[in-house]
Amino acid sequence: MRQSSAPFILASASPRRRDLLKQIGIVPDHVDPADIDESPNNRELPIDYAKRISREKAEVVSDRHKGAFVLAADTVVAVGRRILPKAEDEMDARDCLALLSGRRHKVLTCHILVTPDGVLRQKLVQTSVKFKRLHQSEIESYIKSMDWQGKAGGYAIQGGAAAFIPAINGSYTNVVGLSLPEVANMLVGNGF
Ligand SMILES: Cc1cn([C@H]2C[C@H](O)[C@@H](COP(=O)(O)OP(=O)(O)OP(=O)(O)O)O2)c(=O)[nH]c1=O
């Protein structure tokens, strides 16, 4: 139930984030992606990276929409201290899947909500994801599906890669791109 008349801006190009919000009855007044440079800094740790990028996305977009609620997020797949790329080509995706095969990794989503009076709230959520050991044939058929494109770590848990994941620990929606219980809490707690 919406209490504020301030507009709600989703600072994301991700259709997954739009669908997730819709699932809890939230439809943004505008979708305005930040479109910033997301290159990690030298030796930047995954948590620091997720916090920095989500904050930059939120700041860029809230500058364009004063007096609005702005939600931005960044989802990072991390193996230890290593940040996996958003897979842009088949080589990225193959490298990611080979690294994830047979082990656990972390998916971190850092959520930023900017309130209409310009206060910035941050919430980082971590989910541990277990991958089964992948056969080369499984990797190749997944590559053909193109489901990895633009996804952090080269897979999407909401698609065919679900067959590779026997267990997760933590929020499922966090892996897809927004942890819905946290987003709902942030919005309700800040007068939305
Ligand atoms: C691990 C994983 C990631 N993803 C997606 C969510 C995000 O869209 C993407 C991570 O990249 P992000 O940089 O978080 O998001 P984005 O580039 O898609 O959009 P924007 O920066 O404008 O908000 O990976 C899945 O859809 N499923 C998964 O299982």
Count of domains observed in the chain: 1
The string of pLDDT tens digits covering residues 78-103 is: 999 999 999 999 999 999 999 999 99
pLDDT confidence of residue 3: 87
- Domain boundaries, position 38: 8-189
CA distances from 20 to 25, 93, 142, 187 (A): 9, 24, 24, 14
* Continuous segment of H or E residues that includes residue 122: strand 120-130
Phi, psi (deg, nearest 5) at residue 156: -130, 115
In a domain, 84, yes or no: yes
In a domain, 161, yes or no: yes
In a domain, 185, yes or no: yes
CA of 27 to the centre of ligand 1 (A): 19
The string of pLDDT tens digits covering residues 168-179 is: 999 999 999 999
In a domain, 1, yes or no: no
CATH number, domain with residue 94: 3.90.950.10
The catalytically annotated residue of 37, 74, 89, 147 is: 74
pLDDT confidence of residue 17: 98
Atom 6 (ligand 1) nearest CA: 177
Confidence of residue 2 (pLDDT cuts 50, 70, 90): confident
Identify any residues that bridge with 79 across adjacent strands, giving them in sequence order. 82
The rounded distance, in Å, linking the Cα atoms of 104 and 153 is: 12
Confidence of residue 48 (pLDDT cuts 50, 70, 90): very high
- Cβ of residue 178 lying under 6 Å from some atom of ligand 1: no
CB 31 within 8 A of CB 12: yes
Query: ipTM more than 0.90?
Result: yes
pLDDT at 1 over 80: no
DSSP state of 148: T
What's the average model confidence in pLDDT over 35-49?
Answer: 96
In a domain, 46, yes or no: yes
In a domain, 130, yes or no: yes
Nearest to 87 by CA among 138, 162, 36, 151: 151
Is 74 an active-site residue? Answer: yes
Confidence of residue 187 (pLDDT cuts 50, 70, 90): very high
What's the average model confidence in pLDDT over 21-48?
Answer: 97
CB 105 within 8 A of CB 121: no
In a domain, 169, yes or no: yes
* Backbone region of residue 36 per phi and psi (left: phi > 0; alpha: psi in -120 to 50; beta: other values): beta
- Cβ of residue 126 lying under 6 Å from some atom of ligand 1: no
In a domain, 80, yes or no: yes
The string of pLDDT tens digits covering residues 140-161 is: 999 999 999 999 999 999 999 9
